[in-house]
Amino acid sequence: MERREFIKTSAAALASSLLPLNAVGGDGGGPVVWEVKGPQPAAVEALFDALGGLEKIMPADPARAIVLLKPNICLPHSAAMATTTSPELVDGLCGFLESRGVGRIIVADHSLKGHGFERMELVTRARKHPHAKALLYNERRWYRPVQIGGRVLETAELLKLIKKADLLINLPAAKHHSATQVSLATKNLMGLIWNRTAFHTQLDLDQAIGDLALAVRPHLNIVDATRVLLDGGPTGPGRVVEENRLFASTDMVAVDAVVAARYDFGGKSLSPREIAHLQAASENRVGEIDLERIKVEEINS
């Protein structure tokens, strides 16, 4: 098989392997977004109860499974800055997965800097779990070329580990972003590629993000609104509100639409369609952007 044909085949296999296995729809046929209120680890437990258990989204034998958690670990900041996924969520989720017999948990991201992460509370908490590893994939050897076939994004080098994972859970922090207005589940996929500079300098950034979502579709997206960075993002400092909430869905566009409409990121009240990368993902038929077709179910943990 020629290399070009191999890449095309790999892209198709990757996209199909990461489609949500048991997407749950609302009464009207649209996706469900769960809004979970309360502290960890009870919030994670309540979320998976609502989902119908871990087996609802991962039919593989947990003991043999690889679960890939993709938080936002862009910078070695404290949790109080709300620029990264909260350590409470990562800790709670690792504990939940281990309690269900998952044999291998990998907490992974491609960070903006290569030092200072060892002391992060998120990293140290994850590494306390015997079946979990927290790793930064900051070298090119961990990535492989995949043809995307998007409107502006033809190819990208994606993390090799994605293809090996039995379950991919996307764990973005809910925050403002100066370039894309928000950084939520769809934007968080950029931490799974090697060359992010090209997105910012050579391509239409928003369309490229929407195109990337064609190739990587996590089985579950949990937007961490433990703390929400309302402005000054992506690196902060900025206004932070303590919310103690999770928003989750098998549909990353739907959960982003709900969260984007809930908070005034950047001091603006925006509809989901005003956020260009969400509109691009919607036009690529990645997920549902219309709030009237999304069912929000509230859960108190």
Q: What is the pLDDT of residues 291-301, one digit of tens each?
A: 999 999 999 98
Where does the pLDDT of residue 15 fall: very low under 50, low under 70, confident under 90, or very high at 90 and above? low
pLDDT at 283 over 60: yes
pLDDT category at 6 given cuts 50, 70, 90 is: very low
pTM of the model: 0.92
So what's the pLDDT on residue 13? 46
pLDDT at residue 11, rounded to an integer: 47
Q: Is the pLDDT of residue 88 over 50?
A: yes
| For residues 30-42, average pLDDT | 97
Retrieve residue 8's tokens: 């095309």
Confidence class for position 5, pLDDT limits 50, 70, 90: very low
CA-to-CA separations, 70 to 25, 28, 112, 145, 299, in angstroms, rounded: 24, 30, 15, 19, 23
Nearest-5° Cα angle at 187, 171 to 200: 140
Q: Is the pLDDT of residue 63 over 70?
A: yes
- Residue 28: its pLDDT value, please? 58
Computed over every residue of the chain, the mean pLDDT equals 92
Under 8 Å CB-to-CB from 217, ≥6 apart: which residues? Answer: 15, 18, 19, 20, 252, 286
pLDDT band at 158 (very low <50, low <70, confident <90, very high): very high
- Residues 96-124: what's their mean pLDDT? 92
Residue 29's pLDDT is what?
77
Q: Where does the pLDDT of residue 8 fall: very low under 50, low under 70, confident under 90, or very high at 90 and above?
A: very low
Region of residue 230 (phi > 0: left; psi between -120 and 50: alpha; otherwise: beta)? alpha
pLDDT at 114 over 90: no
Q: What is the average pLDDT across 124-135?
A: 96
Predicted pLDDT at 26: 54
Token couple for 271: 């509809």
Can you tell me the distance from the alpha carbon of 168 to that of 177, in angstroms, rounded to the nearest whole number?
24
Per cent of the chain over pLDDT 90 is 87
